[in-house]
Structure 1
Amino acid sequence: MIPSTQPLSPLRRRMLDDMRMRKLEPRTQEAYIRGVRKLAAYLKRSPDTATVEDLRNFQLHLVDTGSSPVTLNATLTGLKFFFDITLGRIELMAKMQPVKLPRTLPVVLSCEEVSRLLAAARNIKHQVALSVAYGAGLRASEVVSLKVTDVDSQRMTLRVEQGKGAKDRYAMLSPVLLQRLRTWWRLGHAQGKMLPGGWLFPGMAPMDPLSIRQLNRAVHAAAEAAGIHKRVNTHTLRHSFATHLLERKVDIRVIQVLLGHKKLETTSIYAHVATDLLREVIGPLEPMPPA
């Protein structure tokens, strides 16, 4: 959490303590506080005085002012924590219902586009970090959290500590990716950027890791330099990793494990964007004689 210069109210302090007790991620805490702050601004009074009708009208207000489904649901999640955990009055949320999110297909790059993007990275650190995102299918947060000791060249794995859902897992490490990592390690070590047991991709200071924002900026800069006009970010490389494996006939359950997905249905979305699979299907019109 970013420290505030204003004194905290007892109510906010209690909510912060409740979140800290449960070891919620800083970004989650910020999102929950943001939701309660929105309610207080709407009510123009303390949020703990809200009634069931107040909350219902607040949700209508969010809809009428153009809040996206993602923003609306995130706000409701924060309010649910506040009223259930901090106040112990979950019954006030009875008429607050999350909205259904529209299902969208992920943006996927072709193998040729991935190759161009990686080659266009501004420096070797960014190039190798993006190679890890694509070559191992890691999330941006997982890439920047890697340490030198997480690279296991004997077992050809990358150890992902406390990924999404606070779970450890192993990701694949291909020979090409290992070679790129070794090239980066030699350069980073010679420049004094790589500390023993330190971050695999340090930021400006060796003691700090590369940030997610810096990594996404690197993707955007590389995509622009490569002439790729699709809307891409670091997660696009993870989507491309899964899609390309599926197109190479890798079992979807294996891809599920590599991605660290809890449910197979989450992984199955890539079947909708694996265009190579679609091209192999013989349509029912093909066997018919020409008109």
Structure 2
Amino acid sequence: MKNGTFHIKLTEAIYNSQACYFLHFYSKLAEETIIDKLKCLQWSDEHKQYYLVQKDMSLHVLFSELRKLGCYVDYSKIKKKTRPKREQIKNPVQLPKLTPRLKYKLDQFERWMLEKRLSKNTIYTYKGVTALFLRYMQLKKAKEINALWIQRFNHDYVIVGDYSVSYQNQCINGIKKYIDFCSMDVDFELLERPQKPKKLPVVLTKEEIKTLLEVTHNIKHKTLLAILYSGGLRIGEALAMHITDVDSKRGLLFIRNAKGKKDRYTLLSIKILDLLRHYYKQYKPKKYLFEGQHGDRYSNASARAVFLRSIKRAEITKQGITLHTLRHSFATHLLESGTDIRYIQELLGHKSPNTTMIYTHVTESSLKKIKNPLDELY
């Protein structure tokens, strides 16, 4: 680490016929933190490193994302023609430091969010974006928060800085939460949110899931992937699961404190019970179902690396595959087998049925029922 930040080195190479940036981490903590935050990164078995396809994200935006995560980036190995100019990697506007009064107010805001039981990631994000907004208000010598100043901050900092749509929405959410904390009356109707691109989830076939598990020889890794698919779990839910959360007699998995602070039950396939027993006898986890080397929770980065290695061994070449693809596949396969969408909503822990409805657009059985008009011509 350097000056209290994560130290990362960037290199570039051609991989799978595409120009890519490769990230070199100088500590396990840096790797796990950055990989957990930057969902766009992929694992290369050949290079044993995480990488990003250059056409998917400009170097300037990559720098901005890494800087937001507190990274010192060594880009000396990047070709000069693609190296960002000095002024490009600075913030779009130079913001002053917060006054002691606003720092104290921001700390109060953090404690308020803790009392509201918001997740650690949400608190970290909301506090960070609110600090940027308050610094912007200081720069402009604005006396009160209103929708117009939020719009100006959105343009001068987020749009000019070429930040992502997701980050823009995070800024708005964080500022709104701060306004709620301050009990202010601000009209947000004039504040338009950017629309995220609506992409259909990538889904694996049942045959691909079977192959994926067959090529995963390590029993711990196989059990993790099987549990994710069997219960339609988010990776965080699986890694937070305790040994006692497996109800083998009822064929259920107990998911504690999931998204939205809700507990729920989901399915446990009876066919992986033997796998679970063999795994337990061999690894003897003490608290968490999946533990790291020192008895703590298994890391997201390790789980992601395991999954990507198995995907490569299974020779599955679909684009955009992540651990979350197993959850998408679980929901889609249930829907194709005739399971009521309301049950699927409960199993997945979706708050709204509209979230679950996306799977109706990707089910193979539904599409096969539609008669193609070309078929009627012959």
Could you say whether these structures have the same fold, taking a TM-score greater than 0.5 normalized by the shorter chain as the test?
yes
Give the Cα separation in 2 of the matches to 1:152 and 1:34: 40
Displacement of 1:94: 6.2
Give the Cα separation in 2 of the matches to 1:94 and 1:64: 23
Which residue does 1:149 correspond to in 2? 244
**Shift in alpha-carbon separation, 1:172–1:48, aligned structure 2, 3 A:** farther
Answer whether contact 1:153 1:178 (CA < 8 A) is retained.
Answer: yes
Structure 2 residue corresponding to 1:77, chosen from 165, 173, 187: 173
Structure 1 residue corresponding to 2:151, chosen from 53, 56, 59: 56
**Shift in alpha-carbon separation, 1:90–1:178, aligned structure 2, 3 A:** farther
Amino acid at match of 1:84: D
1:101 paired to 2:196: yes
Q: After TM superposition, which residue ranges in structure 1, 4 or more long, deviate above 6 angstroms?
A: none
SS of equivalent residue, structure 1 residue 168:
strand
* Larger displacement relative to structure 2 (145-154 or 208-217): 208-217
Which residue does 1:224 correspond to in 2? 312
Q: CA RMSD in A?
A: 2.6
Query: Counting strand residues as a fraction of each chain, which structure ranks higher?
Result: 2
1:120 paired to 2:215: yes
Residue by residue, what CA displacement relative to the aligned partner does 1:16-58 show, whole Å, maximum 9, x if unpaired? 1111111111001111022123324545649985643332211
Residue by residue, what CA displacement relative to the aligned partner does 1:204-254 show, whole Å, maximum 9, x if unpaired? 211x11123322232222223322232222211000001111112222222
Which residue does 1:160 correspond to in 2? 255
* Larger displacement relative to structure 2 (134-143 or 271-280): 271-280
Amino acid at match of 1:201: F
Answer whether contact 2:106 2:131 (CA < 8 A) is retained.
Answer: no
SS of equivalent residue, structure 2 residue 186:
helix
1:269 paired to 2:358: yes
Query: Counting helix residues as a fraction of each chain, which structure ranks higher?
Result: 1
Which residue does 1:177 correspond to in 2? 272
Instruction: Name stretches of at least 5 consecutive residues in structure 2 with no aligned partner.
Output: 1-32, 34-69, 71-97
Q: TM-score, normalising length from structure 2?
A: 0.67
Give the Cα separation in 1 of the matches to 2:340 and 2:141: 50
Displacement of 1:98: 2.4
Answer whether contact 1:134 1:240 (CA < 8 A) is retained.
Answer: yes
* Larger displacement relative to structure 2 (51-60 or 174-183): 51-60
Q: TM-score, normalising length from structure 1?
A: 0.85
SS of equivalent residue, structure 1 residue 261:
coil
Displacement of 1:202: 0.8
Give the Cα separation in 2 of the matches to 1:237 and 1:130: 8
Answer whether contact 1:148 1:199 (CA < 8 A) is retained.
Answer: yes
Amino acid at match of 1:234: L
Give the Cα separation in 2 of the matches to 1:273 and 1:254: 18
* Larger displacement relative to structure 2 (137-146 or 61-70): 61-70
**Shift in alpha-carbon separation, 1:59–1:122, aligned structure 2, 3 A:** farther
Instruction: Name stretches of at least 5 consecutive residues in structure 1 with no aligned partner.
Output: none
Give the Cα separation in 2 of the matches to 1:115 and 1:48: 60
**Shift in alpha-carbon separation, 1:106–1:54, aligned structure 2, 3 A:** same
Answer whether contact 2:291 2:298 (CA < 8 A) is retained.
Answer: yes
State the identity as a percent: 32
